[in-house]
Structure 1
Amino acid sequence: MKIALIATEKLPVPAIKGGAIQIYLDSIAPLIAQKHEVTILSIQHPDLPENETRNGVHYIRFAQSEYLSFLGDHLKNTKYDVVHLCNRPAWIPALHAQSPNTKWILSVHNEMFAVEKMTDEEGRACIAAVAQIVTVSDYIGRTITDRFPEAKGKVKTVYSGVDLQTYFPDWTQEGRRLKEKVRSELNLKNQKIILFVGRLSKVKGPHILLQAMPKILEKHPDAVMVFIGSKWFGDNEVNNYVRHLYTLGAMYPENVQFIQFVQPKNIPTLYAMSDIFVCSSQWQEPLARVHYEAMACGLPIITSNRGGNPEVIDEGRNGKVINNFEEPLAYAEAINSLLDSSGKRNEMGRYGRSKAEREFSWNTVAGNLLRVYENGR
Structure 2
Amino acid sequence: MRIAQVAPLYESVPPNAYGATERVVSYLTEELVRRGHEVTLFATADSRTAARLVPICERGLWRDTAVWDTLTHHVRQLARVAHLANEFDVVHFHGDPLHFPLTQSLPCKSLTTLHGQLLPMDHGPLFREFASAPLVSISDDQRKPVPSANWQATILHGLPRDEFEFQPDPAPYLLFLGRLMPGKRPDLAVDIARRAGLPLKMAGKVHPGEREYFAQQIEPLLQRSSDFTDFLGEVGGTLRKQLIANARALLFPVEWPEPFGMVMIEAMACGTPVIAFRRGAVPEVLEHGVNGFIVDDVEEAVNAVARIGDIDRARCRRSFEQRFTAARMADDYLQVYERLLAGTRAAVPTSNADAQLYG
Q: TM-score range by the shorter chain?
A: 0.7 to 0.9
Contact 1:90 1:126 in 2 (8 A): no
Coordinate RMSD, CA, aligned: 2.4
Residue 38 of structure 2 corresponds to residue 37 of structure 1:
yes
Measured after TM superposition, the shift of residue 337 of structure 1 is 2.8
Matches within 5 A, 1:221-370: 223-232=198-207, 239-242=212-215, 244-264=217-237, 266-324=239-297, 328-338=298-308, 342=309, 344-345=310-311, 347=312, 349-370=313-334
Identity %: 22
Residue deviations 1:47-66 (CA, integer Å, cap 9, x gap): x28xxx842x0111224452
* Cα distance, 1:201 vs structure 2: 1.5
When the two structures are aligned, how many residues end up with a matched partner?
Answer: 325
The one-letter code of the counterpart of 1:92 is F
In the alignment, what sits opposite 2:175? 195
Shift of 1:360: 0.7
Q: Hey, what's the Cα distance between the residues in 2 that align with 1:69 and 1:90?
A: 8
User: Scaled by the length of structure 2, what TM-score is found?
Assistant: 0.82
Query: Equivalent residue of 2:120, what SS?
Result: coil
Q: 1:19 to 1:116 in 2, by over 3 A?
A: farther
Q: Which residue of 1 aligns with 2:158?
A: 161
- CA displacement at 1:35 relative to structure 2: 2.4
For 1:353 and 1:242, the matched residues in 2 are separated by 37
CA contact (8 A) 1:304 1:310 kept: no
Per the alignment, do residues 65 and 214 of structure 1 end up closer, same or farther by CA in structure 2, a change over 3 Å counting?
closer
For 2:103, the equivalent position in structure 1 comes to 96
Gaps (5+ residues) in structure 1? 180-190, 218-222
- Quick check: 1:126 aligned with 2:130? yes
Change (3 A) 1:272 1:213: closer
Of the three residues 76, 91, 97, the one matched with 1:83 is: 91
Give the direction of change, closer, same or farther, for the CA distance of 1:265–1:105 in structure 2 (3 Å limit): farther
Structure 1 residue 366, shift from structure 2 partner: 1.1
Q: Is the 8 A contact 1:209 1:331 kept in 2?
A: no
Aligned to 2:21: 21
- What is aligned with 1:2? 2
Q: Aligned partners of 1:69 and 1:200: how far apart in 2?
A: 28
After superposition, the Cα gap between the structure-2 partners of 1:238 and 1:108, relative to the gap in structure 1 and judged at 3 Å, is: closer
Match of 2:11 in 1: 11
Residues 305, 242 of structure 1: CA spacing in aligned structure 2 closer, same or farther, 3 A cutoff? farther
